[in-house]
Structure 1
Amino acid sequence: MPRLYLGIDQSYSRCAVVTYTPATGRTEVEGFDFSPKKSGTGPQRLAHVHWVLREYFQAQRLTGTVGAIAYEGYSYGSKWKREELGELGGIMRLALVQTWPPHLLHTVAPTSVKKYVTGSGRADKDKMLLSVYMRWKFEAPDHDTADAYTLARIAAALDSDEPPELKFQQEVIDTIRSPKPPRSKKAA
């Protein structure tokens, strides 16, 4: 069975998942609407998100050999809905570790997702959409899917012995494989 690579971009109300199979060139896109209007609020919403993602991940596990999974980490400077995003991110991570061993899971900083496709960690959403199309000829319908597709490509690169095509892509892969320890705060 060919190896699959998953890229996951979760936002407050939506989760985009891209499954990429390099051997066949096949790409599948799944979008989940986890808005409070569709999924409820509070613990009910978290339970719903967990159930949906867990079922989806279990189904993906049956379709082929997963080589690696890359998902977007938290945007630590964000001001809006931080607590809700943290809860949703935790639920997604729980569903992932309940399905796959931790060595297959890779957290990728939002700036690294942007850098991998554009060469800059500060690219805006429109540049991401255009860059994904220009680099890989994948026409993403929205920025969440463009990010998820890039994450699936990163997952494939993490599982490969071949270096990525471009130097800045290799820098991203090196950062994910060997993250720098967090900076310690200086004593006051």
Structure 2
Amino acid sequence: MPTTYLGIDQSYSGCAIVTYTPATGRAVLERFVFSPRKYGTGAARLAHVHHVLRRYFHDQRQAGTVAGIAFEGYAYGARYRREELGELGGIMRLALVQVWQPGLLSTVAPTSVKKYVTGSGRADKDKILLAVYKRWGFEAPDHDTADAYTLARIAAALDAPEPPEHAFQREVLDTVRQGKAAA
């Protein structure tokens, strides 16, 4: 079974997860929607999110092919829905560490995700969609998927024997390994 890598981009309303297999170049998108209208707010919704993600992560672990996971960290300084996003991020992290050992997990700052694919940590979302397509030929249907795909590529690159070709990508990987945010 070929080695795979997960890239996870969580948002207030859901979660995009891309499973990337370097040996085949195949990427599979899973999208989970956690609509407050459907699941409510507060603890009940968080419990539902935790249940869904933990089950998904457990199923992935049972497959035995995941060698690395990269997920988007918090956008510090963001103003909107900060607390709710923090709660959802905490639930996702809890589900991850309940299933996998911490050494497999890498937190990547949103600016580092942008920089890894575009060369700039300040690129707007449309430039990221285009850059993902130009760089890797992956046509992401939305911004969350483009971020999740980039995160899966980062997870794979962290585990690869050869460094990436571009200096800005190597800088992002070094920053992730050191646990810092890259601009």
Q: How would you bin the TM-score normalised by the shorter chain?
A: over 0.9
Q: Note the 1:151-162 alignment, pairs <5 A.
A: 151-162=151-162
CA-CA distance at 1:180 after TM superposition: 4.7
8 Å contact 1:39–1:49 — kept in the other structure? no
Specify the alignment match of 2:58 in structure 1.
Answer: 58
CA-CA distance at 1:165 after TM superposition: 1.7
Deviations 1:13-34 (A, max 9, x none): 1200000010122111011111
After TM superposition, the score normalised by the length of structure 1 is 0.94
Specify the alignment match of 2:49 in structure 1.
Answer: 49
Cα separation, 1, equivalents of 2:32 and 2:179: 30
Count of residues paired in the alignment: 181
8 Å contact 2:70–2:152 — kept in the other structure? yes
8 Å contact 1:4–1:64 — kept in the other structure? no
CA-CA distance at 1:61 after TM superposition: 1.2
Give the CA RMSD over aligned residues.
1.1
Specify the alignment match of 1:133 in structure 2.
Answer: 133
Deviations 1:128-162 (A, max 9, x none): 00000000000000000000000000000011121
Specify the alignment match of 1:2 in structure 2.
Answer: 2
8 Å contact 2:163–2:170 — kept in the other structure? yes
Specify the alignment match of 1:118 in structure 2.
Answer: 118
After TM superposition, the score normalised by the length of structure 2 is 0.96
Secondary structure of 2:71 counterpart: strand
**Identity %, equivalent residues:** 75
CA-CA distance at 1:37 after TM superposition: 1.2
Secondary structure of 2:27 counterpart: strand
8 Å contact 2:107–2:179 — kept in the other structure? no
Specify the alignment match of 1:40 in structure 2.
Answer: 40
Specify the alignment match of 1:89 in structure 2.
Answer: 89
- Asked which structure has the greater CA Rg, the reply is 1
Cα separation, 2, equivalents of 1:70 and 1:38: 28
Structure 1 stretches lacking a partner, 5+ long: 182-188
Specify the alignment match of 1:184 in structure 2.
Answer: none
Deviations 1:9-61 (A, max 9, x none): 00111200000010122111011111201222110000000000001111111
| One-letter amino acid of the structure 1 residue matched with residue 24 of structure 2 | T
8 Å contact 2:5–2:152 — kept in the other structure? yes
Runs ≥4 residues deviating over 4 A: none
| One-letter amino acid of the structure 2 residue matched with residue 119 of structure 1 | G
| One-letter amino acid of the structure 1 residue matched with residue 14 of structure 2 | R
Cα separation, 1, equivalents of 2:114 and 2:146: 10
8 Å contact 1:9–1:145 — kept in the other structure? yes
| One-letter amino acid of the structure 2 residue matched with residue 72 of structure 1 | E
Structure 2 stretches lacking a partner, 5+ long: none
Cα separation, 1, equivalents of 2:4 and 2:168: 24
Secondary structure of 1:98 counterpart: helix
CA-CA distance at 1:166 after TM superposition: 0.8
Cα separation, 1, equivalents of 2:179 and 2:29: 29
Specify the alignment match of 1:186 in structure 2.
Answer: none
Cα separation, 1, equivalents of 2:74 and 2:145: 17
| One-letter amino acid of the structure 2 residue matched with residue 34 of structure 1 | F
| One-letter amino acid of the structure 1 residue matched with residue 10 of structure 2 | Q
